[in-house]
Structure 1
Amino acid sequence: MRAKLTLQQLEAFVQIVTTGSFRAAAVHVGVSQPALSRTIRQAEQILQARLFDRDTRNVKITPVGQELLPIAQRILGEFDNSFGELGQFLQGRTGRVSLGVLPSIGASLIPGAIASYRSQHPEVEFSLLEAPADALLTAIDEGRADFGLSVRPAPDRRVRYRHLMNDPLVLVCQRDDVLATRDSVPWSIFATRPYLASQASSSIRPITDAALLRFSVSPALEYPSISACGALVRAGLGITALPLMALDLIRMDGLATVPLTRPQVNRQIGIITRIGRTLPPVGQTFLDTLLDQTGSRSSTRQPLHRSVFTRQADL
């Protein structure tokens, strides 16, 4: 015989054993005493055995009841633990965050954000996907990333973008270059020096192309990666413009940065999610933490990645 008792029946049974009284057990589970008695009768009918010997004054558990008791306690305990785990998940205290990021974001903003979040939620796991902007959009669309941190996508992409911060572009040159002594330089400087440009597929290239459009600048070289760009500048092959957060991908010894003006150009960084997809609770709480850290949830002010510009190698 395979008995199919409900959780309600098991709880009523355990409460009667615990309290020693149908009346006290009914109060504990929040039902009337007749309703509790019906619940126990239904359980006894399913088991085809009595669980209690009772009269007007005494309630005694039967041998069948004694056999059932540890089983019922275990089932109820496992149920409570499971829903406790679900509660932790719903509160964003457990689970996995699948996050897609640009390489520069993964090297600059994300490590500190994850460390801060996990100090409060140590059970949360993170899965990081690092890729160029177009590949990130594909990963988000296919569900391989819950959300991404990237540049603003084109309007025709079916994703939701929420602005997070502005990442200013700076000039990168050798430390002994005369430009390194200046407080700022205009974008027209690239018309007078060999200019190193990112590849056309990079998320940086459209931004620098737009800033240089009226200066008729032709690249001396196109670099394949941010780290390669730093090496090319260090070798004296030219100067370049990079987002401030991208500097975490470069070995800065021997190099300097100078603010770029006229115009001042920013790379817009934001949170990208797929339209119609609900984030897991842990993903939403991590995003809330990220928004709080960058000031984007409570203020329209867009904080810079670094509070000051410096021309020292230890940026």
Structure 2
Amino acid sequence: MRISFSLPQVTAFVKVAETGSFTVAAKRLSVSQPALSRTIRLMEEAIGSRLFDRDTRNVVLTPAGDELLPIALRMVLEFDSAFGELAQFLGGQRGRVTVAALPSAAAVLLPQAIVRFQAAYPGVEVVIRDDLAHAVAASVADGIADLGLTVRPAEPGALSYRPLVSDDFVAVCRGDDPFAAMAEVGWRDFAERPFIAMAQTSSVRAMTNAAFLQTGLSPKQLYECSHLATTVSLVAAGLGVTALPNLTLPLVNAAGLITRPLKDPTMRRSIGVLTRGGRSLSPAALNFMNLLSDGNFRPVLPS
């Protein structure tokens, strides 16, 4: 025999069992007593056995009722627990936020944002995927990441972009390099210098290429590094100089290198939040994006 009760039926049964009174249970359930009696009667008909023995003064469980009660209590508890978890998710208090980010943005912008976010939402897990700009955009477009922290995509397609900070480029050299004695460096000063370049697929390389195009220069770009740490290490070894955005400066400073303002032209990339257009974010992801965009959150860029 297959028995199927609805949650309202189970809840009604539990309330009568807890109170020992149809009258009291009906009041607590905000239903009429005849309606409650009908609910219990339908349950009894479904199982072919009485659930309560009733007289004018007492309502007590039958053996069938005793057997059903722990099952019913477990059903009600699991339902309350499940919908309690749903309420926490809808309130942004539970869940996971996956952020794809440029390595420089992940290193400088995300840590302070995560500290503040987890103070407000300790039940939310934050996952970071640091990668190059095209991979960040692909992760967001494919739904692998909820948010992207990256440059404005050249071809956004179905992606939406919200600017966050501006990131100026600076010249990077060793302390004993001629650039270190200069107050500022122009892009033309790279003409006769070994220039250590980032990989063609990186957002940094796109900006340095644009700067050299504007100045009419075609310097030999060496090594084409995929990782900022490699670029910085090569400069530190005296193999050349480079140009990097401000967000990379913690890594540059850690290597003991010198930076100088880079002018003529001033190259500035926009770093912002990337999302899938027309797709709803989870409450937790929306809270994280709002924190990043909040006027109270002002990332302090290295200078």
TM-score over 0.5 for the alignment?
A: yes
Letter in 1 for 2:260: V
By how many angstroms is 1:84 displaced? 0.9
Post-superposition Cα deviations, 1:173-193, rounded to whole Å, max 9, x if no partner, equal 112335335544343433354
Alignment of 1:221-300 (within 5 A): 221-222=221-222, 223-224=224-225, 225-250=227-252, 252-292=254-294, 295=297
CA RMSD across the alignment: 2.3
Deviates more, 1:106-115 or 1:7-16: 106-115
User: What's the counterpart of residue 169 of structure 2?
Assistant: 169
Q: Aligned in 2, Cα 1:221/1:188: closer, same or farther, shift over 3 Å? A: closer
Q: Distance in 1 between matches of 2:76 and 2:138?
A: 44
**Offset from partner CA, 1:209-262 (integer Å, 9 cap, x none):** 223333222233333132222122223333221111123444633311122234
Query: Unpaired runs of 5+ in structure 2?
Result: none
Give secondary structure in 1 for the equivalent of 2:238. Answer: coil
Answering whether residue 80 of structure 2 is matched by residue 80 of structure 1, we say: yes
What letter is aligned with 2:161? Y
The match for 2:128 is 128
Cα deviation, residue 80, structure 1: 0.6
**5+ long unaligned stretches in structure 1:** 296-302, 310-315
TM-score, normalised by the number of residues in structure 1: 0.86
What residue number does 1:152 align with? Answer: 152
The answer to whether the Cα contact below 8 Å between 1:171 and 1:260 also exists between their aligned partners in 2 is yes
Asked whether 1:220 is paired with 2:220, we answer yes
TM normalised by structure 2 equals: 0.89
> 2: distance between equivalents of 1:78 and 1:125?
24
Conserved? CA contact 1:167–1:304, under 8 Å: no
- Residue matched to 1:54: 54
What count of residue pairs does the alignment treat as equivalent?
301
Partners of 1:113 and 1:121 lie apart in 2 by: 12
Which residue identity is paired with 2:47? L
Quote the offset at 1:8 in angstroms.
Answer: 0.5
The separation in 2 between residues aligned to 1:74 and 1:58, in whole angstroms, is: 25
Q: Identical aligned pairs, as a percentage?
A: 46
Give me the whole-angstrom Cα distance separating, in 1, the residues matched to 2:126 and 2:96: 5
Instruction: Kindly report structure 1 stretches of 4+ aligned residues shifted beyond 4 Å.
Output: none
Q: 1:282-305: per-residue Cα shift (whole Å, max 9, x none)?
A: 22222222223774xxxxxxx564
Instruction: Give the C-alpha shift of residue 265 in structure 1.
Output: 2.4
